[in-house]
Amino acid sequence: MSRNLFPAVLAIGLGVWTGFHTFQPAFQEAQEAKDRESVRTQHAEPSQGQKTDHDQPSKPTSNGETGKPSV
């Protein structure tokens, strides 16, 4: 049995190594695309259900002016 085990282990190891080196550029590209997409979604506009500071009216200060500068 040990006579047949070494070639099988060698073939499996060589197949894993070859597959890793063959598909490594594709894996890196997919990871970079995933990273770019996550950065894009973090900087995206908030959804309609979420309110931002711009959606709420300003409260007047003691001198009657609003706290926010006019845009």
Q: What is the pLDDT of residue 57?
A: 60
**61 in a structural domain:** no
**18 in a structural domain:** yes
pTM of structure: 0.43
Segments forming the whole domain that contains residue 33: 1-38
Instruction: Name the CA radius of gyration of the chain, rounded.
Output: 29
**58 in a structural domain:** no
pLDDT in tens, the chain (71 residues): 678 899 999 999 999 999 999 999 999 999 999 998 888 887 765 555 555 555 556 666 666 666 666 55
**2 in a structural domain:** yes
**16 in a structural domain:** yes
Q: How many separate domains does the chain show? A: 1
**67 in a structural domain:** no
| Residue indicated by tokens 């070859």 | 18
> Which tokens go with 29?
């590209």
**50 in a structural domain:** no
